[in-house]
Amino acid sequence: MSHPTSLPASLTLAPGLVYHPGYLGRTAQEALLDEVRAVTRQAPLFTPRMPRTGKPFSVRMTNGGPLGWVSDVQGYRYQADHPDTAEPWPAIPPVALEAWNALSGYALPPDACLINFYEPSARMGLHQDKDEEEFDAPVVSLSLGDTALFRYGGLDRRDPTRSVRLRSGDAIVFGGPARLIHHGIDRLMAGSSDLLPQGGRLNLTLRKVKKPV
Ligand SMILES: O=C(O)CCC(=O)C(=O)O
Ligand SMILES: [Mn+2]
C-alpha cells in the first residue's frame, strides 16, 4: 500500500454538498495565508453588524474580488468597496481562485471572495448564502487554522442538521440541491492547528454573485 494514511479525495455529505478533506497541503495553506495577509494589509478586517439591531458579528471580515459581502444596519449586500476605507477590494487570492477553478465545475470566475476571521471564541449562526443573484454556481469554501465544527442542515431552517469538523486545508463545496442549505459554525477547537501563530481560523468563501451577462 503506497499511501495507507491518505485522505479520500472527496466525500459527498448530501446531494450537492461535497467535502474535500485536506484539499490544500501545508505549503498551499501557507501560500494562501500569505495571500490573505496581503489582502488584509490593503483591505483591513472590519466588524460586520446585524441588519436592524446593529449587533456586531463575532467574526471579522474582508473581501477580495470585484464585489465583497458586507453587513450593517441597512442589511446584507455585495458592494465594490470596503465599508471603512471606501477603497475597491483587492484581487481574489490566487490559491483560492485555483481552488474555485478545480472544484466549482462552473465556467466563470467568482465575483467575490469573502474572508472570515474567527477569534477562538467566534461562531457563525445557522444561515443560508442567498444574497447572490446566481444560484447555478456553487459556493466554494476553504478553511485555514483551527478546526471548526461546521453544522449543515437543509433548505428549511427546521430541517435536521449534522456536523463535520473542518480542518486547516479542507475545502467544502455547496452547489446544486445544496446551494441554499442552512449552515453555520458552532465553535472552534482551540489549539488544533499551528498555521496561525495566534490561533483562530480563517475561512474563504468564493461566490458568483451576478448572473452571467
Ligand atoms: O466559516 C465557515 O466555514 C462558513 C462561513 C459562512 O458560512 C459564510 O461566510 O457565509
Ligand atoms: Mn454561509
Cβ of 205 less than 6 Å from ligand 1: yes
User: Strand locations in 56-96, DSSP E?
Assistant: 59-64, 68-72, 75-79
Point out the ligand 1 atom lying closest to the alpha carbon of residue 166.
3
| pTM reported for the whole predicted model | 0.96
Range of the domain at 142: 11-207
* Class of residue 142 by CB neighbours under 10 A (exposed 0-12, middle 13-18, buried 19+): buried
CATH for 42? 2.60.120.590
Point out the ligand 1 atom lying closest to the alpha carbon of residue 172.
3
Q: How many domains are contained in the chain?
A: 1
Q: What is the mean pLDDT of the chain?
A: 96
Q: Which ligand is nearest to the CA of 147?
A: 1
Mean pLDDT of 92-99: 98
Q: Can you list the alpha helix ranges (DSSP code H) found in the chain?
A: 26-42, 94-103
Read off the pLDDT band of 5 (50, 70, 90): low
pLDDT of residue 47: 98
Integer angstrom CA distances of residue 203 from 37, 52, 85, 158, 160: 13, 25, 22, 25, 24
Q: Which ligand is nearest to the CA of 181?
A: 2
Q: What percent of the chain stands above pLDDT 70?
A: 96
Round to whole Å and give the CA distance between 170 and 114.
Answer: 16
Cβ of 174 less than 6 Å from ligand 1: no
In angstroms, what is the span from residue 127 Cα to ligand 2's centroid? 6
Residue nearest to atom 1 of ligand 1 (CA): 203
Residue 39 belongs to a domain: yes
Residue 4 belongs to a domain: no
In angstroms, what is the span from residue 95 Cα to ligand 1's centroid? 18
The string of pLDDT tens digits covering residues 154-201 is 999 999 999 999 999 999 999 999 999 999 999 999 999 999 999 999
Residue 44 belongs to a domain: yes
Instruction: Give the dihedral of Cα atoms 62, 54, 135, 176; nearest 10 deg.
Output: 90
Residue nearest to atom 2 of ligand 1 (CA): 203
In angstroms, what is the span from residue 50 Cα to ligand 1's centroid? 15
Point out the ligand 1 atom lying closest to the alpha carbon of residue 148.
3
- CA-based end-to-end distance of the chain: 49
Read off the pLDDT band of 7 (50, 70, 90): low
In angstroms, what is the span from residue 76 Cα to ligand 1's centroid? 14
Point out the ligand 1 atom lying closest to the alpha carbon of residue 203.
1
Q: Is the pLDDT of residue 2 over 60?
A: no
Residue 5 belongs to a domain: no
pLDDT of residue 213: 85
Residue nearest to atom 6 of ligand 1 (CA): 184
